[in-house]
Amino acid sequence: MRLLLDTHVALWAITDSRRLGQAAKTLIGDPANRVSVSAVTIWEIAIKHALCRRGAMPLPAAAALGYFRASGYTLLAIQPAHALALEHLADLHADPFDRMLIAQALTEPLRLVTHDPLVARYSETIIRV
């Protein structure tokens, strides 16, 4: 299965947070699954960490990127097709980072792994953990 981790799930995974549930750990740890992290996640971490929202973003973006690479995650770039897909998303969630992750997941296709119930409402292919 091809997975795309939502930012909070990706951070929980690399910081070994107790918030990362067993279902997510199993998905991420399964060698049959290809785990991806988007450039959107790096962008979100960089912006929020710079704004001193360190509770939500405990690491600077460069450190997070290093951990993502060390964990073997595939890095997903933002493509024009992803941006175009935003026009067709329902207006269920206002967060621009989440909306781009959803667009990427639906376009590629990838299974977005999230803990956010609003994000999960976009498609039955999204995995809520």
* Domains of the chain: total: 1
Tens digit of pLDDT per residue, the chain (129 long)? 999 999 999 999 999 999 999 999 999 999 999 999 999 999 999 998 888 766 667 889 999 999 999 999 999 999 999 999 999 999 998 999 999 999 999 999 999 999 999 999 999 999 999
H helix or E strand, kind and range, residue 30: none
- Single pTM value for the model: 0.95
Give the list of residues 6+ apart from residue 96 with CB closer than 8 angstroms, or none: none
Q: pLDDT (tens digit, 9 = 90+) per residue, 19-48?
A: 999 999 999 999 999 999 999 999 999 998
CATH number at residue 97: 3.40.50.1010
Q: For residues 85 and 104, what is the distance between their CA atoms, to the nearest angstrom?
A: 8
Range of the domain at 6: 2-128
